[in-house]
Structure formats: structure tokens, C-alpha cells
A and B are shown apart, each in its own frame.
Chain A
């Protein structure tokens, strides 16, 4: 496989008149942890959906894990794991049943699924609650379970859409430790977040505003470039200046 996990060029998605994603280009390298930042409604989720083969772009090109997002969504799906901001496992199934179901959905052999469930239970500490119904779990545990499902088929690329929204700091730290370990194993991580401390863990970040990517770079470089003290100020400064520019235009 080539060294680029995600390559998108001039990608757009319109909903009627509304340009949810407006002509963005981006490259994410293999094994990179890429932070996909932006205000609410900036088009992050729409972009992720296009990359996961859930949504057809209006125009532009994109390749994920080397496969075309228009014509090879089935190939892409085999190589990616996805976790949405909304908990979307089956609440009336237990953790184990959810994982077993997804194992079959990915077409994995039964013995392999059992082995993966055991391994992930250890890694994500799912033991305590894997036999409880997913709907009855507190949010932090749910997100751990959702990550477990997303990792079941050992994907090369992980798309995480606000995976830690509403989760307590201790668990957030643990979650990022796990992501770090995965990245050591050469898994590419494409993550959106509103927490700036999380963004600082990322190798590179992009900042999106109203469907466009306004900056891409290493977090530290961006802070320096805009002469700010920290990433949060940088983010706010960028978004405000964009809004001002838009108002003038």
C-alpha cells in the first residue's frame, strides 16, 4: 500500500444551495494521527461520511486506503473503522453480541472474531461490562465498546467523529492513550474533536470553517504562525478572522 492513507482533491458536497463541504484538498499519511478540527456545522461529519463511503460527493476526487470513494466503497469499508459522534451500536444487544454481529458483518471467521473480542476486551478493559446490554452502559463505557467494534477487523484507518464528546477527563486520557498505541502500530487515525488538549496530541491538524479548510499543519507550527499562546487561542483567532473576512466580502 502507498504511504498516503487519505488523499482528497477539490472535494465538495452540496445539499441544494448549501455547500456543506466546499472544495477541500487534503492528504493524510499512513500512521499519522490527524486532527480534523472546526466549529459545529463546518462540514467535518459530511467529509468523514464521504470518506467512509456513506455519502457521495458532489464533485472532486478522493482515495481512502488507495481506493476510490466513488467506485470502490466496498473495498474502502473493509479497511476502515468508523465511530460516529452518536452512539450507534444496538442498545438492546450486549457488548459481546454487538461485536459478534459486526464480526459477521465484516465477514470475519468465527474463531478470529472470538480471538479479537478477547484481545480488545483486554486492551480496552471491556471485561466488566461486555455481557451487559449496550443501552444500559454509561457513555464512557459505550464509547470504549464502540471503539472496540470499530477496531474489530483490524482496520488500517480509523475515522473517529467526536469520539470523546461528553466523556469524563480520566476516560478521555485513557482513550487517547489507546489511540497513541494504535498509531504506533501504524494505524492511521482521522479524528474530529472540540477539545484542544486532544488536538495537541495530533501529529497534524486542519481547521475547517464553513465547508473550507483554512489551515493545515502541526499544532505547534500553527500556534507560532498566528502568534498565539496556545492552540485554543489559535483556533478562535482563525475562525474570527474568517468570519470577519466573510462579513466584508
Chain B
């Protein structure tokens, strides 16, 4: 126990006295959260739309005005004067063209059916889907507003009610998952360097001439980083809440508890890597490779796992971020309780146990 404590204490000194480790500890989570948080913004606004008005009536101008007044659409910078929609799109100045054919106002007054033309640049399919949605919604509103207030509207419509993220803000969806990915990367990177560094400098050889057990070295190296990574987690969470305005519905304490398990699991990845490779450079590369890509792709961060091929779905079970993304979204956005998330927590603990076991088997008290 005393050995463990001293190894942990020594490791603390290393971090506190090494400028490079301190940079990883403090600056990296802040930078990554900012970068990802702002770069990944799926809320589509200010779509540039050209409106070609052949009708030239009060009504057609009113419709155009309504579109441009909303936050979703904006005018092209230059007036587009050619009337071939295809040409307008090709010029790259606009993302969609709404064509109001002659007879729009007339049809409106007579209550006849009439079709407006919408040409959308499909090369960006997120935007094109948004254009169709938004323009349809606005047209509906336009029509409803024109009706006599006393008219009774026939028919049934769906009125969707979106729970947990009512504004459908992508930040609310992504930032909690981002916390998971940032923590995983930093934790894995931190510990992956520790043993490799001692191998490089030769201090491990000296340490191994003392009667120390592998598990004492491994745990002693994980412990201080649990504290450090945990503080990082709190830092990133504060960011999520204050800067990105992500709501926090559930229990703070519960999330911190799961966070503790999660960082320990992430640190074990680094320890496992560190026990296998010889240099810091290789260790760092492995740490980034094994955490970054799998967690972005296979954690449900951006892509829904249940839509993936079976092989990838199975692979996702060994990605720790997958469990924590579910946990953190559940707690922050839905206020999920322990009973719902216990399974995820147990999976994390299991992953951690397996990694530490393998690491202590692979980490030899002999050199060469």
C-alpha cells in the first residue's frame, strides 16, 4: 500500500513539474471542446435562396419577404439576373431557387391548387433537406395567416412534441458526447506516455531492480491520473454548461460517479498501451489512434450505432465512449437514473478490469 502511494505521489510530481504534461492536462481539453463544439454545428440557418418571381404580385412579394425575414433564409449577395435556375445554382451563389410561376396570386384568391417550383442543390444533402422542410413550413404559415380568422380548418395534422432537446439544438446533442471523447483521449494519452517514458529514460530499469510488483506500478500510475482526469472532466462539463448552454436535467452526483468510472477505464487503455510499447512516440500514436477514431465513429457521437452493419455494431461494444455517451446524454438531457444506466457502468468496469489484467500480464518485471 505504501509502495502504491509513493508511486502515485511520484507520478503527481512528474505531471506538476513537466510543462508538457501540464499542457496536455489543462490546454488540450479546453482546446478540443472549443474546436469540436463550434466546428460540429448541425443547425442550419441562413441558407442562401434566390427567389425568381414571375408572378410579380403583392402576394408573391409578400411570400418572398416572409422567407427572407426568417432566420433560416437569406438573400444572395448579388442580384441574380438570369432566369435559368440550373445556372443560378451552378454559379454557386445560392443553395436553392424558389420559382413563383405566374398565376400564383390568382390561384390563391380562387382557392385553386398551385405548385411552386423549388430547385435545391442536392450536393449538400443536409442543407437540401432543411430547405424543403423550412420552405414548406413557411408556405403553410403564409397560407394560414391569409385565412379569415373565423374559418375553421378541416383536417388532421401531426403536432410533434420533441422531448429532452426541445429546440433540436445540435449542441445539446453533441457537446455531452464530446465530453466523453475529450476525456477518453486525454486520459489514454496521459497514461500511455508514463511507462513508455520510464522505459526511454532508463528509470524503469532502476525501478525494476527494487522488489516492486507489476500491479503496484500499474495502479500507482493510474491513481494520480484518475484525480487529474476527473478534474478535467469537471472542467469540460462546466464548459458544456456555461459556453454551449447544454441543459443539465439529471443528477450531478450520479454523472460524477459514472465519470469517475469512465476516466478510470480510459486511463486503463493508456496503461495497456504503455505496457506494450517501448517509446513515447509510438505510445502517443497508439493512444490517439485507438481512442479518437473509434470513439467518433462508433460511440453514437455523430452516427447512430443501430443503423450500422452488424460487424461494426459488435465492435462498438469495446469502445468505452459508447457507454459513456449513452450515460452522459441520458443524465444531462433526460435526467436518467442509476437503474437505467447501471448496465452501461458495469460494462465500463468490465472493460477496465480486462485491460488492467492484460496490462499486468504483459508488463514484465524483466527488461529486454
Contact = CB atoms under 8 A, between A and B. Distances in A.
B2 interface: yes
Contact of B10 (A74, A97, A110): A97
B209 A80 contact: yes
A78 B211 CA distance: 6
A90 B203 contact: yes
24 contacts: A49-B367, A53-B365, A54-B366, A82-B206, A84-B205, A84-B206, A88-B201, A88-B202, A88-B203, A88-B206, A90-B13, A92-B14, A92-B17, A97-B13, A101-B6, A104-B2, A104-B3, A104-B6, A104-B7, A105-B212, A106-B210, A106-B211, A133-B17, A149-B206
Nearest to A79: B211
Interface in A113-164: 133, 149
Contacts of B212: 105
Given A78-B211, A80-B209, 5 more contacts: A53-B366, A55-B367, A77-B209, A77-B210, A88-B205
Interface residues of B, number: 26
Given A55-B367, A97-B13, A107 B6 contact: no
Interface string B324-368: 000000000000000000000000000000000000000001111
B211 A74 contact: yes
Given A93-B10, A105-B3, A105-B6, A54 B211 contact: no
A102 interface: yes
Interface in A33-55: 49, 52-55
A209 B202 CA distance: 25
Contact of A54 (B10, B17, B209): B209
Contacts of A91: 201
A95 interface: no
B interface, over-half SS: helix
B256 interface: no
A52 B2 contact: no
B208 interface: yes
B112 interface: no
Contacts of A105: 3, 6-7, 207, 210-212
A76 to B, nearest CB: 9
A89 interface: yes
B365 A93 contact: no
Contacts of A89: 203, 206
A101 B368 contact: no
A92 B18 contact: yes
A23 to B, nearest CB: 19
Interface size class of A (residues with CB under 8 A): 20 to 34
B13 A93 contact: yes
A70 to B, nearest CB: 11
A149 B367 CA distance: 20
Interface string B194-223: 000000011101111111100000000000
A105 B206 CA distance: 11
Closest 5 CB pairs of A and B: A104-B6, A82-B209, A88-B206, A88-B202, A105-B210
B5 interface: yes
Interface of A: 15, 49, 52-56, 73-74, 77-78, 80-82, 84, 86-93, 97, 100-102, 104-107, 110, 133, 149
Nearest to B21: A92
A87 B207 CA distance: 12
A217 B332 CA distance: 76
A185 to B, nearest CB: 21
Nearest to A20: B368
- The residue among B7, B203, B210 with the most chain A CB atoms within 10 A of its own CB is B210
B366 A104 contact: no
A91 B3 CA distance: 20
Contacts of A56: 366
A213 B367 CA distance: 23
B202 A84 contact: yes
Contacts of B205: 54, 84, 88
Interface string B202-246: 110111111110000000000000000000000000000000000
Contacts of B208: 54
Contacts of A107: 2-3, 211
A45 to B, nearest CB: 10
A80 B368 CA distance: 20
B6 A100 contact: yes
Contacts of B211: 74, 77-78, 105-107
Contacts of B206: 82, 84, 88-89, 149
A89 B204 CA distance: 9
Nearest to A74: B211
A106 B210 CA distance: 6
Nearest to A92: B17
Nearest to A86: B202
Contacts of A78: 211
Contacts of B209: 52-54, 77, 80-82
Nearest to B202: A88
B247 to A, nearest CB: 43
A100 B9 CA distance: 11
B215 to A, nearest CB: 13
A86 B208 CA distance: 15
Contacts of B365: 53, 73
A102 B367 contact: no
Contacts of B9: 101
A56 B208 CA distance: 13
A91 B14 CA distance: 9
